[in-house]
């Protein structure tokens, strides 16, 4: 803090002397400077005798000699007075240095000003980014609500360690490298003699982050842990910590997870498993083992190729064709394990392929039987004629499996992620399920990737909010009358952060509720052990879990991803100009990168409008629609009945009954124009119930305040509470944002 260090000395003409005069508290301790021409009159020693330091709040009136229009004759005691003034300033500095509350010192200004420069002057103290496992109260509430105590106690130490690992210097160095050394095609795309090569090159940072995600079990946690339905919420709670530091390696992770889920279903379902040939079983088992491995040397990621030029999210006009030759050429996908190539030959063009560096893919193609079918195919195949670069025989050589990159996409965000247009020419693959049932098969993958999208979106908000909160602790701003306060004591800034935190909490609850329902749908008959009453109130009947997740994943992805973009932007704005910068030098503060990356989430895996119309179609389906409505009805009524105490004017069941009646009694075509509004109304009902159950589960004050503010904002029948004084409202906002109403020392009086 600035402390007056100057002593009263003559100016260049030897004619001026200055001293600091303290004003009373009502004047906000403004410092004033009395300037007197020493050659004309002398300042009376009564202003400040040696050793008498005016106290804060003590009025110090200027002497009559100063205020009088008549200036006295020069005093013969000028040298002693100058010494006294100098001594007084010395004592003042000592007094100021003993003040523990340094906020007051920020109000003092030296009477002389030194110019700033590139290496001198004021430098903002960088914020410290805490471990979100400990600091993010929304994450902590979800960890508590969606995991039984036994699972939480067994996993919390490892999750906390992950939260610290993702903030390491090494990880942020890899992130910077992944965005600096972007994916590209090696050379010109052809060899020196004109042969097609098209080798994809990714940066070291991208590869290391992929290996880290695999070794940390970002996907494997959903498959190799003994927690049954709670494996999924645990998996996504861990991913929430990892996502903002991952440089989007979670995109191939999502499709890796979806492919693993697809293969597990065909391997474990008695009716589906019985249809597999020995070769199909061997291929499926090998791929599943790799997709769920924690060993980067063994593990595979997967692509998901559906989008073509004809329709974007609408795959009905797919032009890629799969044929089954009468005598397909024998070949190996992998020499290790003697894994054969699939019998189907697939050719066509895929417009968007994220995770282009994956080891396998799931894709759609049209067959002669009609309709679309699902296939899996390795990206590479064994090449018995392979040679080294120098021309020597390579017995373990590989080549691309009938796929080549037409061009890489240049994108607004997710630039570290290799996204390409792909040409398929005799790509060998395996049919998954029945011909013509590809949409049904791919739907299982979409359910998972949409949950990934929602959790990714809230994880970006969580990191951006963590940065904004840390910045507010160290950044000072003007508060009027030359006062300075930290942003945590600025009522408007804290109200803004509190609104953002409240919205984030609701989106978190819905995202992790979807993750939990995904787990329940995979383990519908599991024993729930020490599940808390709050979670039991959110758990559907076993036969309703699958129809619930089918519609819930669409609602959640639409409702969550879009507002997360504006929330991250608001966090960027909360940092001012620093937030707008690409802070590669301090990658942990790079909110602008987070903003670019979060912006894709309302678009891929179905845009907001596509998901909204799909939700209406699902609810209006002649058979499955009734199951989806019954599942929603089940969980809404259970959650609303949890804890008898509710706010007057809020009735979630009544809101749901009105919405359900409209959906049931209105023609599908007439609902399409309102699809977004209907999805948002349903999302509001679900979020209000989740916030209600969370707040009622333990009476947490911040949770209750967030719930109250949400329903006041969403439902006009809820009476608005009267605002308290500024100090009380500031404490409430601090409680929401930081989890304590004493986020920093009390602000000074303004």
Please provide the CATH number assigned to the domain covering 252-436: 2.40.110.20
Give the model's pLDDT for residue 15: 40
Instruction: Dump pLDDT digits (tens) for 349-363.
Output: 999 898 899 999 999
Query: What is the C-alpha separation between 581 and 26, in angstroms, rounded?
Result: 40
Give the model's pLDDT for residue 74: 53
According to DSSP, the residues that pair with 21 across neighbouring strands are: 32
Average pLDDT over residues 89-106: 50
Sorted by where each begins, the domain ranges of the chain are 16-107, 252-436
Picking from 175-184, 221-230, 235-244, 350-359, which range would have the lowest pLDDT averaged per residue? Answer: 350-359
Average pLDDT over residues 590-612: 96
Query: What is the C-alpha separation between 99 and 139, in angstroms, rounded?
Result: 39
Q: At 93, is the pLDDT very low, low, confident or very high (cuts 50, 70, 90)?
A: low
- pLDDT beyond 60 at 59: no
Give the model's pLDDT for residue 249: 98
Plot region of 406 (φ>0 → left; ψ -120 to 50 → alpha; else → beta): alpha
Q: At 88, is the pLDDT very low, low, confident or very high (cuts 50, 70, 90)?
A: low
Picking from 193-202, 326-335, 354-363, which range would have the lowest pLDDT averaged per residue? Answer: 326-335
Give the model's pLDDT for residue 40: 34
398: helix, strand or coil: strand
Give the model's pLDDT for residue 60: 45
Quote the mean pLDDT of the chain.
Answer: 86
Mean pLDDT: which of 51-55, 77-81, 116-120 is highest? Answer: 116-120
Instruction: Dump pLDDT digits (tens) for 110-162.
Output: 445 789 999 999 999 999 999 999 999 999 999 999 999 999 999 999 999 99
DSSP 387: B
317: helix, strand or coil: coil
Contact by Cβ (8 Å): 652, 639: yes
Give the model's pLDDT for residue 81: 57
Contact by Cβ (8 Å): 503, 567: yes
CA distances from residue 58 to 24, 25, 97, 480 in whole angstroms, order as listed: 6, 8, 19, 21
Q: Which two tokens stand for residue 690?
A: 């989740």
**Nearest-5° angle of CA 484, CA 489, CA 491?**
110
CA distances from residue 223 to 59, 144, 240, 517 in whole angstroms, order as listed: 73, 21, 18, 16
More confident residue, 55 or 727: 727
- pLDDT beyond 80 at 478: yes
- pLDDT beyond 80 at 510: yes
DSSP 730: H
Query: What is the C-alpha separation between 207 and 448, in angstroms, rounded?
Result: 24
Average pLDDT over residues 235-242: 99
Picking from 30-39, 481-490, 530-539, 556-565, which range would have the lowest pLDDT averaged per residue? Answer: 30-39
Instruction: Dump pLDDT digits (tens) for 644-676.
Output: 777 889 999 999 999 999 999 999 999 999 999
Per DSSP, the residues of 596-637 read: HHHTTTTTTTS-HHHHHHHHHHHHH-TTHHHHHHHHHHHHHH
- pLDDT beyond 80 at 345: yes
Give the model's pLDDT for residue 71: 53
Query: What is the C-alpha separation between 341 and 400, in angstroms, rounded?
Result: 12
Could you tell me whether strands 302-305 and 360-366 are parallel, antiparallel, or unpaired per DSSP bridges?
Answer: parallel
**% of the chain with per-residue pLDDT over 70:** 84
Average pLDDT over residues 487-498: 96
Could you tell me whether strands 332-334 and 339-340 are parallel, antiparallel, or unpaired per DSSP bridges?
Answer: antiparallel
Give the model's pLDDT for residue 89: 59
Picking from 6-15, 33-42, 246-255, 503-512, which range would have the lowest pLDDT averaged per residue? Answer: 33-42
Query: What is the C-alpha separation between 671 and 668, in angstroms, rounded?
Result: 5
Q: At 17, is the pLDDT very low, low, confident or very high (cuts 50, 70, 90)?
A: very low
């Amino acid at each position: 803090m600035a402390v007056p260090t100057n002593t009263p000395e003559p100016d260049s003409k030897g004619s001026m002397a200055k001293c600091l005069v303290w004003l009373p508290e009502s004047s906000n301790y403004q410092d004033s400077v009395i300037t007197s021409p020493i050659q004309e009159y002398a300042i009376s020693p009564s202003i400040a005798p040696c050793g008498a330091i005016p106290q804060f709040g003590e009025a110090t009136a200027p002497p009559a000699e100063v205020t009088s229009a008549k200036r006295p004759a020069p005093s013969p005691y000028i040298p002693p007075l100058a010494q006294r003034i100098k001594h007084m300033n010395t004592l003042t500095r000592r007094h100021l240095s003993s003040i523990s509350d340094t906020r007051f010192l920020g109000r003092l200004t030296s009477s002389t000003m030194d110019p700033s420069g590139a290496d001198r002057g004021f430098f903002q103290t960088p914020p410290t980014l805490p471990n979100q496992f400990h600091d993010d109260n929304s994450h902590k509430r979800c960890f508590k609500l969606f995991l039984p105590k036994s699972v939480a106690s067994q996993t919390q130490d490892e999750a906390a360690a992950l939260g610290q690992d993702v903030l390491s210097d090494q990880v942020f160095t890899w992130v910077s490298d992944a965005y600096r050394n972007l994916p590209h095609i090696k050379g010109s795309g052809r060899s020196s003699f004109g042969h097609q090569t098209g080798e994809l090159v990714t940066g070291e940072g991208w590869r290391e982050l992929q290996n880290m995600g695999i070794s940390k079990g970002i996907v494997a946690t959903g498959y190799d842990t003994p927690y049954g339905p709670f494996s999924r919420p645990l998996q996504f709670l861990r991913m929430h910590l990892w996502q903002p530091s991952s440089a989007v390696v979670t995109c191939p992770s999502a499709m890796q997870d979806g492919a693993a889920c697809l293969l597990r279903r065909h391997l474990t379902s008695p009716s589906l498993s019985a249809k597999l040939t020995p070769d199909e079983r061997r291929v499926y088992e090998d791929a599943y083992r790799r997709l769920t491995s924690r060993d980067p040397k063994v593990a595979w990621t997967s692509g998901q190729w559906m989008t073509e030029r004809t329709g974007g999210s609408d795959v009905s006009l797919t032009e890629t064709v799969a044929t089954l030759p009468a005598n397909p050429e024998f070949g190996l996908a992998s020499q290790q394990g003697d894994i054969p190539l699939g019998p189907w030959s697939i050719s066509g063009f895929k417009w968007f392929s994220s995770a282009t560096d994956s080891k396998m893919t799931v894709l759609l193609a049209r067959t002669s039987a009609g309709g679309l079918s699902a296939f899996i195919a390795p990206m590479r195949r064994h090449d018995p004629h392979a040679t080294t670069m120098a021309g020597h025989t390579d017995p373990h050589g590989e080549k691309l499996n009938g796929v080549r990159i037409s061009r890489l996409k240049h994108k607004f965000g997710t630039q570290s992620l290799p996204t390409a247009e792909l040409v398929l020419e005799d790509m060998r693959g395996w049919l998954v399920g029945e011909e013509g049932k590809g949409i049904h098969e791919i739907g299982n993958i979409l359910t998972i990737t949409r949950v990934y999208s929602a959790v990714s979106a809230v994880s970006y908000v969580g990191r951006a909010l963590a940065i904004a909160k840390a910045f507010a602790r160290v950044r000072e701003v003007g508060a009027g009358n030359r006062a300075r306060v930290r942003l945590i004591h600025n009522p408007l800034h804290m109200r803004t952060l509190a609104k953002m935190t409240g919205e984030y909490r609701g989106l978190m609850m819905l995202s992790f509720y979807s993750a939990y329902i995904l787990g329940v749908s995979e383990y519908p008959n599991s024993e729930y052990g020490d599940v808390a009453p709050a979670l039991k109130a959110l758990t559907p009947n076993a036969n309703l879990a699958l129809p619930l997740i089918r519609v819930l994943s669409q609602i959640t992805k639409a409702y969550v991803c879009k507002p997360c973009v504006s929330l991250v932007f608001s966090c960027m704005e909360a940092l001012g100009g620093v937030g707008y910068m690409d802070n590669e030098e301090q990658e942990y503060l790079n909110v602008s990168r987070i903003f670019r990356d979060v912006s894709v989430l309302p678009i891929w895996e179905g845009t907001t409008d596509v998901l909204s119309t799909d939700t209406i179609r699902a609810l209006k389906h002649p058979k499955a629609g009734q199951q989806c409505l019954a599942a929603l009805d089940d969980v809404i009524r259970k959650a609303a009945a949890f804890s008898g105490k509710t706010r007057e004017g809020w009735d979630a069941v009544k809101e749901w009954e009105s919405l359900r009646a409209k959906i049931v009694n209105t023609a599908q075509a007439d609902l399409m124009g309102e699809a977004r509004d209907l999805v948002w109304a349903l999302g509001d009902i679900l979020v209000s119930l989740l916030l209600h159950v969370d707040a009622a589960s333990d009476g947490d004050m911040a949770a209750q305040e967030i719930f109250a503010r949400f329903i006041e904002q969403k439902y006009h029948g809820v009476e608005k509470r009267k605002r308290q004084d500024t100090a009380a409202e500031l404490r409430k906002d601090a409680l929401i944002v930081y989890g304590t109403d004493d986020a920093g020392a009390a602000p000074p009086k303004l």
